[in-house]
Amino acid sequence: MEQTQQSSAHQECPDCHALTADLAAHKQWHSRLVHDIATAVDRDAKRRVGTQ
């Protein structure tokens, strides 16, 4: 199997192992994603409690 050579400009994300040219921006994206998911779960939990 042929291996492709990775550009040194790309770094691997330690969380999801994606290759990214801007690791800091990618980590910020991860933080925002986690925040948005947590907010959605919290809102859904509050909505469910309110309907019981």
- What's the pLDDT tens digit per position in 6-36? 556 899 999 999 999 999 999 999 999 999 9
Supply the pLDDT for residue 6: 52
What's the pLDDT at 50? Answer: 86
pLDDT of residue 31: 95
The pLDDT of residue 9: 83
In angstroms, the CA 27 to CA 16 distance is 10
Residue 37 scores a pLDDT above 90: yes
Name the residue ranges covered by the structural domains of the chain. 20-50
Report d(CA 48, CA 16) in Å as an integer.
Answer: 31
